[in-house]
């Protein structure tokens, strides 16, 4: 049968799909052109993390916990962003249109979400009161992550239906459809980073700088990870990895908050 013939072929001969639109790729596994880049990136990231690790004189559990938290949200943000850009290219009619709409919505929404969570936290904490020292959950509230996980899962499940039903609409309606659903997700996606910075600020300015550095490194890693996962398994796998990153950040943030609370006297 044809499926067996394609599976036994030394080259990748399966037809391209919207999930794997790489018509130019005939290599099975990681393309040879990307392998040197992986080695270079691995050395840079590994060396950078080692240097960052020893720049902070804190307990091991604190460094590991917050490093994992900021790395997870950095990778997760890029995975979701790249997935949505790819999914909306055909829907919006052109890659440039998809890039403009998705990037503008995510960045504006995330910035607005960071501002809103800051206002919410300042309203809950009276001046001079260190509420995060008494209630570990306040260091990293769970509800923004729940919003991200639910909205992203809903987008992944409903997008094929939205794509087929709204594709015949005019461009303004299609742009409005993408923005209307993506903006609430972006609002929630802007909150975890601001919440994390607020949590680590208690330990000094060096922890804040470390958080920014780890998040930036993770964003670069997330871009390459999205490309590799899409090449090997399709963009559905990238969407799942993005969901998993935010679920891991929620778990990691909760664990480290409770660990730090238990370590205080």
- Higher pLDDT: 202 or 108? It is 108
Q: Tell me how far apart the alpha carbons of residues 75 and 140 are, in angstroms, rounded to a whole number.
A: 18
Mean pLDDT (whole number) for 227-255: 87
Q: Tell me how far apart the alpha carbons of residues 106 and 245 are, in angstroms, rounded to a whole number.
A: 17
Would the pTM of this model clear 0.85, i.e. be above it? no
Domain boundaries, the chain: 43-126+135-262
Burial 90-121 (b: 16+ CB within 10 A, else e): ebbeeeebbeebbeebbeebbeebbebbeeeb
- Higher pLDDT: 31 or 171? It is 171
Question: Which region among 14-23, 107-116, 236-245, 249-258 has the lowest average model confidence (pLDDT)?
Answer: 14-23
Q: Does the structure show a pLDDT above 70 at 125?
A: no
* Tens-place pLDDT, residues 38-83: 777 777 777 766 666 665 545 545 556 678 889 899 999 999 999 9
Q: What is the CATH number of domain 43-126+135-262?
A: 1.20.1250.20
Q: Does the structure show a pLDDT above 50 at 131?
A: no
Mean pLDDT (whole number) for 237-259: 84
SS3 19: coil
So what's the pLDDT on residue 187?
Answer: 95
């Amino acid at each position: 049968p044809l499926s067996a013939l394609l599976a036994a072929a030394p080259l990748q001969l399966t037809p391209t799909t919207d999930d794997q639109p790489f018509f130019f790729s005939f290599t099975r596994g990681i393309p040879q052109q990307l392998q040197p880049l992986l080695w270079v990136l691995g050395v840079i990231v590994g060396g950078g993390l080692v240097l960052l690790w020893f720049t902070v004189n804190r307990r091991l559990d604190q460094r590991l916990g917050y490093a994992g938290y900021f790395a997870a949200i950095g990778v997760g943000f890029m995975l979701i962003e790249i997935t949505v850009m790819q999914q909306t290219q055909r829907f919006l009619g052109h890659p440039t249109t998809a890039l403009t709409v998705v990037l503008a919505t995510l960045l504006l929404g995330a910035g607005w979400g960071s501002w809103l969570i800051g206002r919410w936290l300042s309203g809950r904490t009276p001046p001079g009161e260190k509420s995060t020292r008494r209630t570990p959950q306040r260091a990293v509230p769970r509800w923004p992550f729940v919003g991200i996980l639910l909205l992203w899962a809903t987008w992944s499940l409903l997008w094929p239906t939205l794509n087929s039903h709204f594709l015949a609409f005019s461009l303004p309606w299609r742009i409005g459809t993408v923005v209307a659903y993506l903006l609430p997700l972006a609002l929630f996606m802007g909150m975890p980073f601001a919440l994390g910075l607020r949590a680590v600020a208690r330990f000094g300015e060096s922890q804040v700088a470390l958080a920014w550095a780890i998040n930036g490194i993770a964003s670069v890693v997330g871009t390459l990870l999205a490309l590799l996962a899409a090449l090997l398994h399709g963009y559905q796998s990238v969407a799942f990895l993005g969901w998993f990153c935010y679920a891991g950040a929620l778990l990691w943030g909760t664990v480290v908050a409770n660990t730090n609370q238990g370590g205080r006297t």
